[in-house]
A and B are shown apart, each in its own frame.
Chain A
Amino acid sequence: MVGIISSGFHGRRQSGNPALPPGQYETGSFPVLTAGPAPRIPTDDWEFFITTEAGQRHAWSWAAFMALPQMDIETDIHCVTSWSKLGTRWRGVSLDSLFENVETNCRFTMAHSYGGYTTNVALADLLGGRAWVAWEFDGEPLERAHGGPARLLVPHLYFWKSAKWINGIELTQDDVPGFWESNGYHLHGDPWREERYS
């Protein structure tokens, strides 16, 4: 079978590097993968929301978001198209901070991006110091092509879960497939278990 998806990114396969999940190779670049045009969101217009099953809506303006505790994160990232980038440096707000006053019984969420992209993430994967809304990469404001002004960062899952141009999180009772999950990709996406496809 001829491969029809051309991600355009190829690198030397490496083995024996314990930082690389199965089937991944290391890249020094930062490939831009996206399912559509990059929306333009001035920070004056940007907001981040969390909605609950009870109809409550928590929202932060850019200024309110920046006033929250900021964290520096160093982490490896793993794209489902097989590249991994090790030791990336980010700055952002922990989802633990954003969920601090949110009451819910839901176990699942849907991340919504400006531009319409969605991805489902279990609430447990967003909490416990494992997920952030990141606005800085490598000491610089996050470039628009990489999701600026802010993107979700869930580095322990394949990077399609780290939604660019993040707008908000909707709490859901059920695990509802998002943009890629509804068309062949895994609901969870753990790179160490190679949860690529459904």
Chain B
Amino acid sequence: MSGNNGSDSPDATDPGLEDQDIAGRVANAIPHLDGNAVAGPLWELFRFDIVAAIGRCRHCGAVRAFGETMVYVDAPGIVVRCASCEGVLLRLVETPTRYWLDVSGLSYLQIDREV
């Protein structure tokens, strides 16, 4: 599957565009947040602060702080992507009766213990 190249530069016609994922007008932007955006929901589930955790991306092998991830919340669920390769690390869907959590894009999470 091709075409998902997040390393593209912004269009020359719009050099001030901060969101490099989308060409053209600012109104076209698809916003994403960082890992802090998913901290609350995951705290609700697991009672640990995931933002400082270190995770390994199963797609590209990058080892980075969870807080650096790209989080898409304007969607039917929360989608957390690797900031290095844009692969999906985690998906979280809330239905009226259950949570659906997919962490198959993470090969591990390293979580500091409270000392």
Contact = CB atoms under 8 A, between A and B. Distances in A.
Interface stretch (B2-10, B46-54, B107-115): B2-10
A69 to B, nearest CB: 26
B76 A80 contact: yes
Contacts of B78: 4-5
Interface majority SS (helix, strand, loop, mixed), chain B: loop
A34 B30 contact: yes
Contacts of B92: 4
Contacts of A32: 30, 74
Interface residues of B, number: 41
B1 A183 contact: no
Nearest to B11: A40
Given A145-B28, A180-B76, A38 B21 contact: yes
Interface residues of A, number: 39
Given A38-B21, A40-B8, A183-B102, A167 B28 contact: no
Interface majority SS (helix, strand, loop, mixed), chain A: loop
Contacts of A182: 102
Nearest to A37: B21
B32 interface: yes
A121 B96 CA distance: 24
Nearest to A42: B3
B115 to A, nearest CB: 29
27 contacts: A3-B94, A4-B40, A4-B94, A5-B73, A5-B94, A6-B73, A31-B74, A33-B74, A33-B75, A35-B77, A36-B4, A36-B88, A37-B6, A37-B22, A37-B30, A38-B21, A38-B30, A39-B4, A40-B5, A81-B76, A143-B24, A144-B28, A180-B77, A183-B77, A183-B100, A196-B95, A197-B96
Interface of A: 2-9, 31-41, 45, 80-81, 112, 114-116, 143-145, 160, 165, 167, 180, 182-185, 196-197
